[in-house]
Amino acid sequence: MPPTATPTTPASFLTVALYQFVHLPDCADLRAPLQALCDAQGVRGLLLLAREGINGTIAGPEVGVRAVLAWLKTDTRFTALQHKEATAQHMPFYRMRVRIKREIVTLGVPGLDPARNAGTYVAPEQWNALIDRPDVVVVDVRNNYEVGIGSFAGAINPGTQSFTEFPAWVKAQSAPGGVLAHKPSVAMFCTGGIRCEKSTALLKSQGFGEVYHLQGGILKYLETIAPDNSRWHGDCFVFDERVSVGHGLAPGHHQLCRACRMPLGPEELASPHYLAGVRCPYCHGTRTPEQEAALAERERQVQLARQRGQEHIGANRPASNNGQEPE
């Protein structure tokens, strides 16, 4: 059993989100040495391995995280591995898991090959011109709760609760009268890029000719494009303790409900249904009094640990993606 509290230090932690679609027929053989390396370097988080590639988020001392990245890149198949970095004052994970999966981001459509058949990358500097074209259908492939706190102006929200619902939306919208009927030019975007690689491969497999996706995702756009030239509105939900970010990747305006893991803006935080660590407007009324009492006790223990200068393992769990793999 892991301890319920661990001492904190003033040192910051490096958090890295990474992914690559690449053929890994031996992915099961990589699990044990990768797990052992992360454990030895004090690195925690979640890494997913599948025959189609690698995906995950890890955090730890900078020297440890860099050692893991360096080890991965000793394998020539990972030379194109992409990653994004952020620093955190607290360790956002309390254990390390390397898991073998069917897919590194679950769409549930067999036979797709994003490593060879993804759409055309569009750099952030060229993205505005693309989505301003009247003949281009712009689609936000993220989930509804992510879209709810920010998106590109004019983008279509498929209203999905999980990425696995996206193929059904494509099928419905490809029918006569749908926004994808007659196979128009399509521009797609997501947080970091991985879901777009798979969704563009899906459309190309169905005969769409012009399919584009934002290189580096929303995060790269917000990092690159100045606010006065931006088409982005709101915050971008992220799957770590920052919860959301804005232009320049500055901290956003959202906190996380520690009960249901939904992002909460100023309006939700001001709601009478919000009680820190216990409930929010989204999950109000969904738990028994006994369950709420247990959550209230957890929140009390978290606050006591902070007062003692310690970190409670329930305090900084990473933001959930509602059962999906990390982006």
Confidence (pLDDT) at 58: 95
Q: State pLDDT tens for residues 77-133.
A: 998 898 988 887 888 888 999 999 999 999 999 999 999 999 999 999 999 999 999
For the segment(s) 5-100, the CATH number from 3.40.50.300, 3.40.1390.10, 3.40.50.2300, 3.30.70.100 is 3.30.70.100
Confidence (pLDDT) at 4: 40
Confidence (pLDDT) at 225: 97
Grouping H, G, I as helix, E, B as strand and the rest as coil, residue 139 is: strand
Cβ(32)–Cβ(207) below 8 Å: no
Residue in 253, 205, 246, 214 with CA at minimum distance from that of residue 227:
246
User: What's the rounded Cα separation, in Å, for the pair 312 and 327?
Assistant: 25
Intrachain domains 5-100 and 114-234 with the same fold: no
Tell me, yes or no, if 190 is annotated catalytic. Answer: yes
In the chain, domain spans: 5-100, 114-234, 257-312
Grouping H, G, I as helix, E, B as strand and the rest as coil, residue 74 is: coil
| Contacts for 271-277: CB closer than 8 Å, 24+ residues apart | 277/302
Q: State pLDDT tens for residues 193-212.
A: 999 999 999 999 999 999 99
For the segment(s) 114-234, the CATH number from 3.40.50.300, 3.90.180.10, 3.30.70.100, 3.40.250.10 is 3.40.250.10
Residue in 179, 180, 197, 178 with CA at minimum distance from that of residue 188:
197
Confidence (pLDDT) at 319: 43
Cβ(130)–Cβ(122) below 8 Å: yes
Residues of the chain with pLDDT under 70: 1-11, 309-327
Grouping H, G, I as helix, E, B as strand and the rest as coil, residue 310 is: strand
Confidence (pLDDT) at 150: 96
Give how far the C-alpha of residue 143 lies from the chain's centroid of Cα atoms, to the nearest Å. Answer: 10
Which one of 190, 196, 236, 257 is the catalytic residue?
A: 190
